Structure formats: structure tokens, C-alpha cells
Amino acid sequence: MGASMSTFPSPPLLSHQHLPSGFHRRYRQSFPAWIFSRLGDLIPSTLPYLQFRDPPRRWTSDHHPTGMTHTTPVIVNVEGSSDHGSALKEQIQSLPKDTKYLEVEGDTPSDVEWSILGSHFSNVERLILRAGYNENLNDKGIPLHWPLQKLEIVDSASEVFKSPFVLEGRVSHLSLFFTCGLRFEGLTSDEIKCEHDEAIERGDVQAEYISLHEGTPEEKKLKFTYLPELVSSHINKIYADPERGQKEPPAGPVNLETLEIWENDAIDTFNRMAISLPHQVDHLRTLRIRSTGGMDFYYTHESVFREVLPQLTNLQTLILSVGDIFNDPSYLPTLYKVLPPNLTELYFRGPSSLCQSTEWSEWVQAFESREFLPNLQKLAFVLDLHWEKEENFWKKDGPAPAALLDQARSACQPIYDIAKRRDISVVDMPAEPKSALLRPVDERWSQG
């Protein structure tokens, strides 16, 4: 699928009165006790966990998400159907059975296709699943006998993970590239819709309809199902379950050490994972998040991220690229206060306008203290991102004006100088996949 954008409108957030009765009182009792002891109180009592908004305008990408490497995968094309068996067998019969690097594209494999892939390939260590035009996700059939180390999900949307490689942290490296609305527990989207249809049949809820050709002889009504609201309600019920806090974590070791989430609702996805799979998030050694498009926070509140970050005491490397995406104007200017405390490597990329914040001097003062990130060994700090406001509350990204970029570069110089005095190496931002949707660091940043 070529680069495209789903054009969903984004109306204002509905009022808190649309949340289930007693939600603020119950949610603190419904999360596992472990979350509060290890990851802190994820949600301030004045804020709801779930937000009822339309889904973001979602970007998808058919660019290879691993452009940073020179390894070439074996590529297999699937159709996502149960009657594709003979064609798939013919396609893969000449491919090496001991293939270590496999890319599956065209669609997400059906259960039948997973069975065929698992029977042929025996040694897959790195797997890319490209969702294709339908943006589906069917990961539960990933063969468990594969010695999988890295799993990359590309373009999948609005679905729930089912594979033990994800839910039990069996894979050591998970990368979500331009995904959107993925969940880590609960029912599948089809199951949620079926549950809703059954509720309509019982008379528990009323069906919604839209009219076509209204006012004409051809007028007719079509039943309309709004999945994002159903998903929000479903997740809300999960977290309000009084038995939730008594559930034990999955047995066995957690292998997940590296998590990458690229664009769309990247931080929102991380928040959902932190709440659903807290033991895995706590185990992370490397976290890479890129959220610059303003499509975040459609299911969770932005405050969750601030609550989780400082509790990640095992995290060693943080690669964070964030744009002007927060509703709270003080959120980004004070982000230094909530960075994971034991980082050895910090790579931060933000908007040029950050240097104009009244809090900017506090960033510099924070780095002056050797008690601030005392284990830090490498630092990249770039403020080159920029947005111009457009109509309908949208913002368009583009190069920062020269004067603003120069101001940002000058403002960062004291941080570089302090880092060198602390024997911290000042380095460039890590390489990113080659994609037209990922704007690289402005060339002018290193020319000053």
C-alpha cells in the first residue's frame, strides 16, 4: 500500500460525564497492585484513563522499516485467506527452510497460512509483518517453535495482540512501525462488534443508523457501528474489573528488552502497553518512541506517559523524538523532571520552540547537576522540529525558520558544554529507517 492518510475528523473531546458511573472511584482499585508499586499511579484522580475521540488521521507506509541495516529478508506474499494454501506452498517451496530473516507482506497471514509458514520455515529469528491495504493483525498464529528475537509490525491498526511473543514478552525486540490503535489485552475488534450486535438483539442498546438519499424515493437506512467508542467502552470494562488486581503475571522469564514505536499514536500505544503489560515495560533496557505528527492520545491521557517514565529504573537507553503534540503547554518544557533516572544514553529531539520556553533555563540547570542522570555516558540533543498552524486546528510540519533554528542551536550549546565537562559524549541522533514520512534531522543543525 502506498503512503496514504485516512481522513477521519477529530472533534473535541466529549465531556467526562460520558464515562461510566463511578469510574473515578473504581479505576484505582481495578489496576493490578503491581502497577502502582512499580510504575506509580498512572492516572491522576482528576483525569479519566479513556478518552472518547475519533481515531487519528492515520499515516501508513510501504517503505521498508529496517533501512538502517543491510540485511535482506526473504519476502513472502500472503492473502490473509484460508484458501491460499496451494499458492503459498508453491511460492515458498524453493525458499531456504533455515531462513532467519523473513518478511511477510500483502496482508496479515490467516491461520491456514501461518500453519504453512510454520511447517516450512524452522529457524526464523527476525520477522516483519506488513499489514498491507487492509491494515489487519493476526499474530496469534506466529509459530512458537521459531527462535524469534525481533518482531516488526508495520501498518496494522485497531486490533489486539494475541501472540505469546508479544503478550508474554518472549521476543527481545518489538518494533511497531506506523501502527495505530493496537491493544494488548481484551477482545478482537470482530469480537467486540459481535458482542455489540448481540446486545442490540437483546435490546440492551439501540442500533444507530445513517440515511442514504434522504428525502428521495431511494431513501434507505444503514446500520452504523462506531468501533472506536465500542473499543473505549470495552477497555474501560477491563480496567474496572474488581478481579483485575488479583491476576498474576505470565509465568516464565520476560525477554523483551527493546521497544520501538514509530509515529501515529506512539505514546498512546506505549501507555496502553504499560497498563496492560507492566512487567514487560518495567523490564525494558531500550525504549525508542517517535511521535511528531500530532496524532497521539486518543485512548489514554497524556499524563500517563509522565507518570510511567520516571519509574523505568531498568531503562538504559531512551531515544525520544516528540513534537508539539501535548495539550498541556508545560508538558514538554518540564519533561526533564521525569526522565528515567538510570539512563546511560539519552537521544532527544524536540521542537525548536522549546528553547523559547520560560522553563528552558531549568533544562540547562538540570544538566549542571551531576545528580541529574548520574550514569549518562552519551547525549544527543536536537531542537529542529517545527510546525505551522493550519485551519481546522491541524498543524503542518516543515523546516524551522532560520532565525528560530539558530536560536535553538545557541540555546543547546550550554548543554553540550556541560555534558563534556561531565565526560558525557555528545553524539548525533541515531539513524532512522528511510521513509518519506520520517523527516530527518535538519541539515542546518550541524552546520552552525
DSSP 93-113: TTS-TT-SEEEEESSPPPHHH
Question: pLDDT value at position 64?
Answer: 46
Other beta carbons less than 10 A from residue 20's beta carbon: 14
Cβ pair 266, 292 in contact under 8 A: no
Question: pLDDT value at position 103?
Answer: 98
Question: pLDDT value at position 247?
Answer: 65
Per DSSP, the three-state class of 121 is: coil
Report the Cα 122 to chain-centroid distance in Å. 30
C-alpha separations of 66 from 187, 215, 255, 304, 418 in Å: 30, 53, 21, 29, 34
Per DSSP, the three-state class of 379 is: strand
C-alpha separations of 375 from 102, 230, 316, 348 in Å: 37, 45, 9, 16
Comparing CA positions, the residue from 432, 136, 437, 441 lying closest to residue 289 is 432
C-alpha separations of 172 from 150, 156, 185, 240, 278 in Å: 6, 20, 19, 31, 15
Comparing CA positions, the residue from 392, 402, 388, 385 lying closest to residue 323 is 385
Every domain of the chain and the residues it spans: 189-239
173-177 and 425-426: which strand pairing?
A: unpaired
173-177 and 208-212: which strand pairing?
A: unpaired
pLDDT band for 387, please (50, 70, 90 cuts).
Answer: confident
Helices within 109-258 (DSSP H only): 111-120, 164-167, 189-202, 227-239
pTM: 0.84
The maximal CA–CA distance of the chain, rounded, in angstroms, is: 79
Q: Look at residue 28 and tell me whether its pLDDT is greater than 70.
A: no
Give the span between the Cα atoms of 126 and 181, in whole angstroms.
23
Q: What is the pLDDT of residues 266-321, one digit of tens each?
A: 999 999 999 999 999 999 999 999 999 878 888 888 999 999 999 999 999 999 99
Q: What is the pLDDT of residues 347-374, one digit of tens each?
A: 999 999 999 999 999 999 999 999 999 9
pLDDT band for 246, please (50, 70, 90 cuts).
Answer: low
* Nine-digit cell string for 388: 505551522
State which H helix or E strand residue 425 sits in: strand 425-426
Q: What is the mean pLDDT of the chain?
A: 84
The least confident of 9-13, 70-74, 175-179 is 9-13
Mean pLDDT (whole number) for 133-161: 97
Give the span between the Cα atoms of 122 and 76, in whole angstroms.
15
Beta-sheet strands, E only, within 13-66: 59-60
pLDDT band for 401, please (50, 70, 90 cuts).
Answer: very high
